[in-house]
Structure 1
Amino acid sequence: HSPHPRHKPPAADLSYKNEISSLMDFNSPDASLDKVLLREEVAQLQEEVHLLRQMKDMLSKDLEETQGGCSADVLSATELRVQLTQKEQELDRAKEALQAMKSDRKRLKAEKADLVNQMQQLYATLESREEQLRDFIRNYEQHRKESEDAVKALAKEKDLLEREKWDLRRQTKEATEHTGLLRSQLDLKENRIKELEAELAMAKQSLATLTKDVPKRHSLAMPTEAVVNGNNQEWVMQADLPLTAAIRQSQQTLYVHTGHPTDRQVAAVRVSPCHSRQPSVISDASALEGDRSSTPSDINSPRHRTHSLCNSLEDLEEAKRKKKKEKMGLGSLSRVFARGKQRKSLDPGLFDDSDSLCSPTRLSLSDGSEDQLDRLQQVELARTTPMSQWRAGTVQAWLEVVMAMPMYIRTCSENVKSGKVLLGLSDEDLELGLGVSSLMHRRKLRLAIEDYRDAENGRGLSKAADMDHHWVAKAWLSDVGLPQYSQAFHNHLVDGRMLNSLTRRDLERHLSVNKKFHQVSLLLGIELLHSVHFDKEALQARRIQCEHQNVDPLVWTSHRVVKWIRDIDLKEFAESLPNSGVHGAVMVLDPTFDTDAMATALGIPGGKHMVRRHLVEEMKALIGSARADAKQDFERLGQGTPPTPQRQSSLGRPPSSAGRHTDDEGSLRRRAVK
């Protein structure tokens, strides 16, 4: 056999190499990460092709070496060609697989392009949405800021209007009370004027009768030949003189004719009050005692009768003039009333023909000097006299002016005639006898009565008696930062004594204080009053000392706390404190009131950590030592940890019968603090 020529690589091998190289070109623009699997398969196929080529080369070498061999080797060469043909078929199949892979690659490229387009559209849509969201957030922040400013302005305007409303209500209430007081005084004065006018008419009639009877009495009282300065004197009424002047002239003539020095001295003494009028009750009372000390013969004498008529007529004319001018003073009224009573004490048979004209009020002196005092004088009497010595008028004036309960005066005048009766009233008597249906009003009366009862034992009224309901509703509630409850406290007439008895239940049921923190704030404000024994002046003195210094925060008012917040550079949050109930006693005496509670009251957001840290440092510097001092003070007083002051430490004595209102007060207040 001739040697076989060396086979050249067919054209299919060249195209295969080109395809393989194109597939292996992963740096081309068409390459992507999603062809990783294709790369692995191509690599495997390349390895197989490489092995096949090596086998082919080996077979070619073997074939060349065996060209000159025996015919037996031809059979093996034929087998090798068959194997080579099989390998070429396998290569063809691999090429087909590569072609399928290329088609898949093109399809994946198209899908990739679609996905890229979709992603670009999504990115564009997302950017537009983000821009819209930014615009919305910006507009929302702007609107929110405008709304907050508007709400703050409305809140300030509301507070201003509320204050104006409460001021107007207070002024209206005071004007109404003052008007009622003036109306009652005016009614009393008008009734007295009517009585005086009636007395004036009767006095004129009696005077006419007296002038007719004087010549007869004069002829009996002196000799017919009596001569003074060489002329006969007669008691003649001058027609051209006023009534009082004519009476005085006749009186002087009568004194001259009698010729008794003692009578003339008495006449001089009795004429002088007509010319020297002093607006004092003491001078009127002394004149009254002087007239009462006269002998019966002096009272029944014509001189005394004439002088009494003189005083009566002048007093009546003066009262009528002052009534017309509407300028009648309290002193002149008291003097007129005193002299009216003085005239009433005279003998009803003073005038011969006037017995049938005398009114019943002229026959006796009723209720002594009590009716001579007006309502304000009765109030002053109530302040300086023990309750057991009060008369009915003093009780009524005390109930109306001091206790501010004019609605119970009518039933009081019917059922309570003296202070002793008032001291003996029970709670049931207050409800049934005086018609005091309000539980808070009954408690106020009960506490006041017990305070006056203890005062009669020599210990004096408590300092809480100086705190009326106006001070509690306006000043004290404003100091503790809860002026929104002013109307409720004012309606229930809560004064200093009632503050001493308030519990959580009272605050919630009667005074509409439903927030727990507000209840704690009020109870701790009362504890502060306990610590100073309800002494307003001592408390105010301590507050003045710390007004411009950050010391003694226990006595700080809500306004002083707001000033401190502004001083520590947190003025943007200071507007949240008014009406919150945060005051010095809460900051010092409430152990649960920490920096977080203060930050919540100020409205500081939780994200502002630097602001909260600054507040922590400032509060620690302010309250740390104050709480330690308060604890030492309470331990020194033997009262344990604050706040546990007993009620007798504030008022100076424990209320006896008021215990039914305060049995659970200490425990409730301690629970309020805890």
Structure 2
Amino acid sequence: MGMKNPLHRKKLQLALRAFTTKVIEKSSELDHIWVTRWLDDIGLPQYKDQFHEARIDGRMIQYLTVNDLLTLKVTSQLHHLSIKCAIHVLHANKFNPNCLRRRPVEEKHPSPSEVVQWSNHRVMEWLRAVDLAEYAPNLRGSGVHGGLIILEPRFSSETLALLLNIPPQKTLLRRHLATAFSALVGPQAMQEKREYGNATGHVPLTTTAKVKPKKLGFTQFSHLRKRKPDESADYICPIDSGALTVNGVSRLSSSAQKGLSPRLDRQAEREEQVGLKAQTNIN
């Protein structure tokens, strides 16, 4: 067929697998045109041309890997995290195409379970509501949406201030943003963010960090022939995310969190090593 684009080949393979297994996925109802609108909603419209050319549809979103995103020219670590959290929100809402909220409704004190579904535009509306209207346009193309704000433990008011280009010397404005941010995400998420910030080996989330390609080892080439069930960790947001609900907010489970932050990666690796050692001892 002369199909050279690796993502086109992947799309065909996924479609053939769905056809042969007769597994009906809700995500398959979302076409590539919907995905370009979704990129607008999560604040990453600059990638619409790449996603459109690769014909990324709802089914493919589930199976995107780090290297797939790099092929799509998404190199920013923050943007990878934005897409990861946005995919998790889709999983938690069973790929409801209208799950993201674009406009304010009558919600004087929105709960974290509502904020997690905010689109990029809705976050900008919130900034206008807390008297930071002049900085709101700076969020266009930032990848900031409700899912990133709530689910990513390293995303803080400092990260938001950087993205909004609020000068460090404007301490009162930054303090005002920090207070509004804390009220928005709620005490539980703020506690989690503080714990991550105080953890040993914590690497702050920056706006300039780039993602490096994942190198394939010899054992990982097997996915070219037949994907193993335990290789779901290769995905940007594992399908078996097993959404946990805490105080009404759908949180990422441990398997889905892998890759969200260096600390979580190291913690997951340690847990895997302990499990392997225990299994060896038993044998």
- TM-score, normalising length: structure 1: 0.29
- Residue 443 of structure 1 aligns with which residue? 10
Give 1:186-585 correspondences, 5 Å limit: 434-455=1-22, 461-473=24-36, 475-508=37-70, 510-537=71-98, 539-540=99-100, 543=101, 547-549=105-107, 550-551=109-110, 552-585=114-147
| Cα distance, 1:518 vs structure 2 | 1.1
1:535 & 1:451 partners in 2: Cα distance?
A: 20
Q: Are residue 664 (structure 1) and residue 234 (structure 2) matched?
A: yes
Q: Is contact 1:588–1:626 with CA below 8 Å preserved after alignment? A: no
2:188 & 2:93 partners in 1: Cα distance?
A: 16
Name the CA shift for 1:668/1:534 in 2 (closer, same or farther; >3 Å): closer
Name the CA shift for 1:443/1:435 in 2 (closer, same or farther; >3 Å): same
Name the CA shift for 1:572/1:548 in 2 (closer, same or farther; >3 Å): same
1:598 & 1:451 partners in 2: Cα distance?
A: 40
2:256 & 2:72 partners in 1: Cα distance?
A: 17
Name the CA shift for 1:565/1:544 in 2 (closer, same or farther; >3 Å): closer
Residue by residue, what CA displacement relative to the aligned partner does 1:119-165 show, whole Å, maximum 9, x if unpaired? xxxxxxxxxxxxxxxxxxxxxxxxxxxxxxxxxxxxxxxxxxxxxxx
Q: Is contact 2:102–2:119 with CA below 8 Å preserved after alignment? A: no
RMSD of equivalent CA atoms: 2.8
| Cα distance, 1:534 vs structure 2 | 1.5
Q: Is contact 2:120–2:143 with CA below 8 Å preserved after alignment? A: yes
- Residue 610 of structure 1 aligns with which residue? 172
Name the CA shift for 1:669/1:450 in 2 (closer, same or farther; >3 Å): farther
Name the CA shift for 1:544/1:560 in 2 (closer, same or farther; >3 Å): closer
Counterpart secondary structure, 2:260 = helix
Q: Identity rate of aligned residues, in percent?
A: 35
Name the CA shift for 1:545/1:561 in 2 (closer, same or farther; >3 Å): closer
| Cα distance, 1:452 vs structure 2 | 2.7
1:663 & 1:670 partners in 2: Cα distance?
A: 7
| Cα distance, 1:516 vs structure 2 | 1.2
| Cα distance, 1:609 vs structure 2 | 1.2
- Residue 216 of structure 1 aligns with which residue? none
- What amino acid is the match of 2:258? R
Name the CA shift for 1:479/1:588 in 2 (closer, same or farther; >3 Å): same
1:614 & 1:534 partners in 2: Cα distance?
A: 35
- What amino acid is the match of 1:471? W
The unaligned stretches of length 5 or more in structure 1 are 1-433, 631-656
Name the CA shift for 1:482/1:544 in 2 (closer, same or farther; >3 Å): closer
- Residue 223 of structure 2 aligns with which residue? none
- What amino acid is the match of 1:534? F
- What amino acid is the match of 2:54? H
1:445 & 1:659 partners in 2: Cα distance?
A: 19
2:175 & 2:148 partners in 1: Cα distance?
A: 21
- What amino acid is the match of 1:518? H
Q: Is contact 1:524–1:673 with CA below 8 Å preserved after alignment? A: no
Counterpart secondary structure, 1:555 = coil
Q: Is contact 1:503–1:668 with CA below 8 Å preserved after alignment? A: no
2:119 & 2:77 partners in 1: Cα distance?
A: 20
- What amino acid is the match of 2:10? R
- What amino acid is the match of 2:31? D
Give 1:614-625 correspondences, 5 Å limit: 614-625=176-187
- What amino acid is the match of 2:162? T
Name the CA shift for 1:624/1:525 in 2 (closer, same or farther; >3 Å): same
Q: Is contact 2:102–2:121 with CA below 8 Å preserved after alignment? A: no
1:583 & 1:500 partners in 2: Cα distance?
A: 19
- What amino acid is the match of 2:82? S
- What amino acid is the match of 2:27? A
Q: Is contact 2:30–2:57 with CA below 8 Å preserved after alignment? A: yes
Q: Is contact 1:503–1:669 with CA below 8 Å preserved after alignment? A: no
1:453 & 1:619 partners in 2: Cα distance?
A: 48
Residue by residue, what CA displacement relative to the aligned partner does 1:35-77 show, whole Å, maximum 9, x if unpaired? xxxxxxxxxxxxxxxxxxxxxxxxxxxxxxxxxxxxxxxxxxx
Residue by residue, what CA displacement relative to the aligned partner does 1:303-336 show, whole Å, maximum 9, x if unpaired? xxxxxxxxxxxxxxxxxxxxxxxxxxxxxxxxxx
Counterpart secondary structure, 1:672 = coil
- What amino acid is the match of 1:664? D
Q: Is contact 1:480–1:521 with CA below 8 Å preserved after alignment? A: yes
1:626 & 1:479 partners in 2: Cα distance?
A: 26
Name the CA shift for 1:440/1:668 in 2 (closer, same or farther; >3 Å): farther
- What amino acid is the match of 2:72? L
| Cα distance, 1:437 vs structure 2 | 2.6
Residue by residue, what CA displacement relative to the aligned partner does 1:451-507 show, whole Å, maximum 9, x if unpaired? 23333xxxx62111111111112x110011010000000011101111101122211
Name the CA shift for 1:586/1:444 in 2 (closer, same or farther; >3 Å): same
Larger helix proportion, structure 1 or 2? 1
1:592 aligned residue (146, 151, 154): 154
| Cα distance, 1:669 vs structure 2 | 6.0
Q: Is contact 2:104–2:125 with CA below 8 Å preserved after alignment? A: no
Residue by residue, what CA displacement relative to the aligned partner does 1:549-590 show, whole Å, maximum 9, x if unpaired? 252110100000000000000011112111111111110011
1:671 & 1:663 partners in 2: Cα distance?
A: 9
